[in-house]
Amino acid sequence: MDWADELAASVSGPQVVNDSKTPSGTVHVGSLRGPVVHDAIWRALRDRGTPARFLYGVDDLDAMDAASLLTPDAVDRYMGVPLADVPAPPGSDAPNYARHFVGQLFFPTFERLGIRPEFYWMSEVYRSGALDVLIRRALDRADVVRDIYRRVSRVEKPSGWLPIQPICENCGRVGTTIATDWDGETVRYQCLPDLVKWATGCGHNGRLSPFGGRAALPWNLDWAAKWSHFGITIEGCGKDLATAGGSRDRSDAIARDVFEREPPSNVAYEFLNVGGRKMSTSRGTGAAAHTIAEVVPPEQLRFLFLRPRPNQAIEFNPDGTDAIPRLFDEFDRIADATAGREVRGELPPHPERLFELSLVDPDADVPAEAAAFRPAFGHLSLLVQVPGVDVAEQMAAEKGSPLTAAEQTLLAGRIAAVRRWLETYAPESARYAVMDDLPAEAARLGEDQRLFLGALALRVDEGTPHAGAEWQAAIFAVATSAGLPAGRAFGALYLAFLGRTNGPRAGWLLASLDPGFVARRLREAAGWRPAEAVPAGDGR
């Protein structure tokens, strides 16, 4: 967890950390890396006493470019219109689409993760006139801008092209306009039907003053303008932007050569890949992203992003794997190390720091948090599947003392996460189900185990145990008198009822089933003969 602190140590003077996002599309889990990384940097600065602000910009003057987010009849009307000017979806009381989206997704998600930047809205910044001086400079130096595009990215802009996107006075679109002829006060612009594929301009021609929110700067200039306007000193970006000759290089050059200001320190961060592929809503690989945030609680989610260095890609493939349980286990291991408990394996450089920055509350009592009792995810996942088990009581017993209020909250959160996991990503091997018919796997029962099952059936005939503990005692008693090790006895029960060799606590499992069913299954399994089992392959 050195990287954030190293960065914080390498700067001097007051700092302004910034991140921003266009409020459209789906926020998949991977796109939370930026906010988490910037939050960690801000916390690192704060913790070493550096005066620092943490800003988050909502680029709501950007054009709506995702038809899938609009009702069909609204597509023609609003594609290409600034998000701040698109109406909120039906049923929302937000004043516009951007506000609706941010209110629905950004605010709750950020809050959940303990990320609390100062939000600003670019539509307001533009409309306040605060950027006018920068817009003027960009237009005055349009040739420099064109040269930067050419030099840095080998992109040739049409002659006469100006770095400004007027908002069409006729149709309100910003994504379809092109401007020329800057006379020092106004530009001439055209709203073109075929400038971009995804939106259709109205064909309007006109002149306007590009100030006061009547026009927006194109992406790379907009970025650099923010740096100047807010005095931003640190801003990372995804590696797609940080590629050589890419967006970041262009914006850096614009900051230096047009706005005459050194660009902020960059932290290029890698993507989060699912199954070796970039998360992508359009390709469906990120479809489960929303669920990931529901299954992985905020601390573990922060941990997921903070554990590796920003420039390392994160491979996270929760579907049908033990990735989520392992994430919890690793988090718990770091918590243990922080609490001073002995842990196995290698530890990252400053485990206690990693743990601290993973906590939602930046002012949390770290030693107390680290010392809290954290039941293992995998263990809970089985307990939760046993009907009638009081998990909280069980955990108190395992801990050896009553759970504190904080531990109870933690437990409740984990149980919820476990349940969601079992419903969504968990591999079949993590789930258990009592088979309606004798499982084929019962063929693997040994003679000693069948004898045990038969003996247990006889024991049940004398009186069905009532509760889990009573069942558990009966199982042990019968196993002992049959001279069978407990492990073989339990294994027999799991094979007979679940078709697998392990499972949740057997006593409680049997107690939850119909006594008649249990008795029948015991006899059936006891009488099972290998010869009647699964046909022995094709012999070849």
Partner RNA sequence: GGGCCGUUAGCUCAGCGGUAGAGCCGCCGACUUUUAAUCGGCUGGUCCCGGGUUCGAAUCCCGGACGGCCCUCCA
Q: Which residues bind RNA (CB under 7 A)?
A: 22, 59, 62-63, 65, 153, 155, 165, 175, 196-197, 218-219, 222, 239-247, 268, 270-271, 273, 276-278, 280, 308, 311-313, 315, 322-323, 325-326, 329, 344-349, 376-382, 397-398, 472-473, 476-477, 480, 485-487, 490, 502-506
Please report how close the Cβ of residue 325 comes to RNA at its closest, in angstroms.
6
The CA distance from 364 to 360, in Å, is: 8
| C-beta of 115 vs 430, nearer to RNA | 430
Please report how close the Cβ of residue 533 comes to RNA at its closest, in angstroms.
19
The CA distance from 81 to 62, in Å, is: 8
Looking at the DSSP bridge assignments, the partners of residue 268 are 237
Please report how close the Cβ of residue 369 comes to RNA at its closest, in angstroms.
22
- Tokens standing for 430? 């993590």
The CA distance from 462 to 374, in Å, is: 41
Residue 437 buriedness (CB in 10 A; 0-12 / 13-18 / 19+): exposed
The CA distance from 540 to 529, in Å, is: 24
| C-beta of 13 vs 463, nearer to RNA | 463
Residue whose token pair is 């006061």? 212
| C-beta of 114 vs 121, nearer to RNA | 121
| C-beta of 268 vs 435, nearer to RNA | 268
| C-beta of 50 vs 273, nearer to RNA | 273
3-state secondary structure of 89: coil
| C-beta of 15 vs 285, nearer to RNA | 285
Q: How many CA atoms lie within 13 A of 128 on its CB side?
A: 9
3-state secondary structure of 17: strand
**Backbone angles phi and psi of 514, in degrees to 5:** -65, 125
The CA distance from 211 to 128, in Å, is: 9
**Could you tell me where the DSSP H helices lie in 168-237?**
219-230
| C-beta of 431 vs 529, nearer to RNA | 431
Please report how close the Cβ of residue 375 comes to RNA at its closest, in angstroms.
8
Please report how close the Cβ of residue 476 comes to RNA at its closest, in angstroms.
4
Looking at the DSSP bridge assignments, the partners of residue 57 are 20, 120
Please report how close the Cβ of residue 343 comes to RNA at its closest, in angstroms.
8
Among 220, 214, 202, 203, smallest CA distance to 149 is for: 220
Please report how close the Cβ of residue 153 comes to RNA at its closest, in angstroms.
6
Looking at the DSSP bridge assignments, the partners of residue 205 are 190
Please report how close the Cβ of residue 87 comes to RNA at its closest, in angstroms.
20
| C-beta of 26 vs 50, nearer to RNA | 26
Please report how close the Cβ of residue 503 comes to RNA at its closest, in angstroms.
4
Sequence letter at residue 276: G
| C-beta of 15 vs 385, nearer to RNA | 385
Among 458, 452, 530, smallest CA distance to 493 is for: 452
Instruction: Identify whether the C-beta of residue 142 lies closer than 8 Å to the C-beta of residue 160.
Output: no
Please report how close the Cβ of residue 384 comes to RNA at its closest, in angstroms.
10
Among 27, 102, 96, 4, smallest CA distance to 58 is for: 102
Please report how close the Cβ of residue 381 comes to RNA at its closest, in angstroms.
6
**Backbone angles phi and psi of 451, in degrees to 5:** -60, -40
Instruction: Identify whether the C-beta of residue 96 lies closer than 8 Å to the C-beta of residue 88.
Output: yes
| C-beta of 359 vs 380, nearer to RNA | 380
| C-beta of 52 vs 139, nearer to RNA | 139
Alpha-carbon dihedral 318, 324, 330, 336, rounded to 10 degrees: 170
